[in-house]
Amino acid sequence: MEAVEICYVIHLPDGERAEHRLSFDAETMENLTPVARELPPWTKLNFCQCPNCPLTLDSHPNCPLTARLAPLVQGVCHLASTVEMSVEVITAERTVSKTAQSQEILSSLIGLLAATSGCPHMDFFRPMARFHLPLASLEESLYRVMSMYALAQVIRRRRGLQPDFDFHDLAKRYEEVEKVNRSMIERLRVASRRDLTINAFVLLDMLGKTLPAMALDDAQEVESLFEGYLAD
């Protein structure tokens, strides 16, 4: 099976453009893009290490998530978070183009990198990374998270595991993600000259705080779309 290729082409305010070409294993969504050979000190595993991190320095000298973020941070750390930029996200199926604030664009790319970084607490996002939707709205993200989680429970049941069709464990997973996000923000305060990457991660953190509650409480807002499934 061919690799999944995703390319973010970001048009910077100075007229330059930055390309971030990513390659993933199509079955596992392991990031096949080589990690930078030289990494800054803030990527060390024990630098602001997440309180829930199960990794050790012996096996992971560098945090796998920050190792993936480092080239991106170094390339955009001089930019403000609210500057308008345009981006094209190119995949084999389509090209998505949008003009948005730099923090929104970076948040979308960081979300993809986080899900495929090898961070144990981000691994459950890999199905969404496989079908990446750049700069998704809150409603789109809610539908994607709920769909992914519901399908995961069908697969768990097929494997003889206890499913969670009430979405209770989803909130617990996001609680662990929130701990990671907080530690990442602390690392980025050291790494960034401006607030762009910090605010991009804050947007992801806010989304993580919002989606679990919406999945439990607001699903009824889309129930009318499923009338075709409700007839006997």
Give the tokens for residue 134: 């750049």
What is the separation of C-alpha 48 from the centre of its chain, rounded to a whole number of angstroms?
20
Percentage with pLDDT > 90 across the chain: 66
The pLDDT value recorded for residue 232 is: 72
The pLDDT value recorded for residue 196 is: 86
Q: Which residue has the tokens 């995961």?
A: 152
Report phi then psi at 26, rounded to 5: -65, -25
| C-alpha distances in Å from residue 75, one per residue of 20, 162, 189, 194 | 10, 44, 15, 12
The pLDDT value recorded for residue 197 is: 86
The pLDDT value recorded for residue 58 is: 94
Close Cβ partners of 38 (under 8 Å, ≥ 6 residues apart)? none
- Domain extent listing, the chain: 4-230
CB-facing half-sphere around the CA of 161: CA atoms within 13 A? 9
The pLDDT value recorded for residue 75 is: 78
Length of the chain: 232
pLDDT tens per residue, range 85-99? 999 999 999 999 999
pLDDT tens per residue, range 128-185? 999 999 999 988 998 999 999 999 999 999 999 999 998 889 999 999 999 999 999 9
Mean pLDDT of the chain: 91
The pLDDT value recorded for residue 1 is: 67
Q: Which stretch of DSSP H or E encloses residue 165?
A: none
Report phi then psi at 166, rounded to 5: -90, 0
The pLDDT value recorded for residue 74 is: 81
Q: Which residue has the higher pLDDT, 208 or 155?
A: 155
| pLDDT of 115 over the 70 cut | yes
Residue 29 · residue 6 · CB < 8 Å: no
Side-by-side strand order, sheet with 84-90: 17-24, 4-11, 84-90, 95-101
| pLDDT of 2 over the 90 cut | no
**Contacts for 143-151 with beta carbons within 8 Å, 24 or more apart?**
143/222, 145/170, 145/211, 145/215, 146/215, 146/219, 149/215, 151/127
The 3 state secondary structure assigned to 91-117 is CCCCEEEEEEEHHHHHHHHHHHHHHCC
